[in-house]
């Protein structure tokens, strides 16, 4: 057992090779997309809205379709069923998400320039934790919006949760929710980190077998 941990520590302490470093740099650069493109999109269709009402969720703001006019229209509909208005200031995620993504990008670059295999494992674990937490936070926010309905609302509906993936029927609305370019970029960034770790680990094992 001691021999196993000794070999493991030796492998983790090895510096990253060129290929893993380049993959990590590419992973960090992909995070820029989080600031440029929406993370998620919700679209609502109904007989009175055949072209749909659209809401794009960025890492730091909400953007409505039709030149921003869809958000006020959605809020009018929310008012009838007792749902809170969609207001950017109510999303605490917008206050920390851009900074956390930026910090992750800097940690990726640090791992690429100065890191070891163990350092790459660390940033991958941080990536997994952040991705899981961000997804949970998004789902919880949608749950709260659909379940905290005012009992004095003009139209009574059962508490609901808008879909996180795919579509569902809510009253007379068809609601569709899908990730967008920002989320796809984050997903690809995570895959590149995994690829970098696989390559780095194989290189480390090969070096160990050669006794270097």
- Structure confidence by residue, pLDDT tens digits, 25-72: 999 999 999 999 999 999 999 888 888 899 999 999 999 998 889 999
Domain count, the chain: 1
Note the pLDDT tens digit of each residue in 139-180.
Answer: 888 888 888 888 887 777 788 888 888 988 877 888 899 999
Q: In degrees to the nearest 10, what's the CA dihedral of 16, 18, 22, 24?
A: -10
Is 193 contained in some domain? yes
State how far the Cα of 43 lies from the Cα of 35, in Å rounded to an integer. 21
Q: What's the CA angle centered on 77, arms 147 and 81, to 5 degrees?
A: 40
pLDDT of res. 5: 44
Instruction: Point out which residues pair with 72 in neighbouring strands.
Output: none
Is 204 contained in some domain? no
Say what the pTM is. 0.87
Is 6 contained in some domain? no
Is 99 contained in some domain? yes
Is 7 contained in some domain? no
Q: What percent of the chain has pLDDT over 90?
A: 43
The two counts, helices (H) then strands (E), for the chain are 7, 5
Is 173 contained in some domain? yes
* Domain carrying residue 55: 24-199
Q: Is residue 53 within 8 Å of 74, Cβ to Cβ? A: yes
Highest mean pLDDT (candidates 11-15, 150-154, 183-187): 183-187
pLDDT(186) > 90: yes
Q: In degrees to the nearest 10, what's the CA dihedral of 179, 187, 61, 97?
A: 140
Compute the average pLDDT of residues 89-108: 91
Is 180 contained in some domain? yes
Strand order in the sheet with 173-179: 62-64, 49-57, 40-46, 173-179, 166-170
Is 97 contained in some domain? yes
């Amino acid at each position: 057992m001691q021999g196993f941990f000794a070999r493991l520590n030796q492998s983790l302490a090895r510096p990253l090779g060129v290929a893993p470093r380049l993959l990590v740099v590419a992973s960090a650069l992909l995070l820029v997309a989080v600031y440029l493109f929406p993370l998620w999109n919700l679209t609502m269709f109904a007989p009175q809205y055949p072209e749909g009402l659209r809401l794009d969720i960025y890492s730091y703001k909400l953007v409505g379709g039709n030149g921003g006019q869809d958000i006020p229209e959605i809020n009018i509909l929310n008012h009838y069923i007792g749902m809170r208005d969609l207001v950017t200031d109510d999303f605490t995620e917008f206050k920390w998400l851009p900074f956390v993504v930026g910090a992750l990008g800097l940690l990726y670059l640090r791992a690429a320039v100065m890191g070891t295999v163990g350092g790459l494992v660390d940033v991958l674990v941080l990536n997994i934790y952040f991705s899981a937490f961000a997804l949970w936070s998004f789902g919880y926010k949608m749950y709260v919006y659909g379940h905290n309905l005012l009992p004095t609302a003009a139209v009574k509906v059962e508490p609901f949760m808008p879909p996180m993936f795919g579509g569902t029927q809510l009253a007379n609305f068809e609601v569709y929710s899908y990730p967008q370019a920002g989320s796809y970029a984050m997903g690809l960034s995570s895959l590149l980190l995994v690829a970098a770790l696989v390559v780095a680990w194989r290189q480390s094992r090969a070096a160990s077998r050669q006794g270097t």
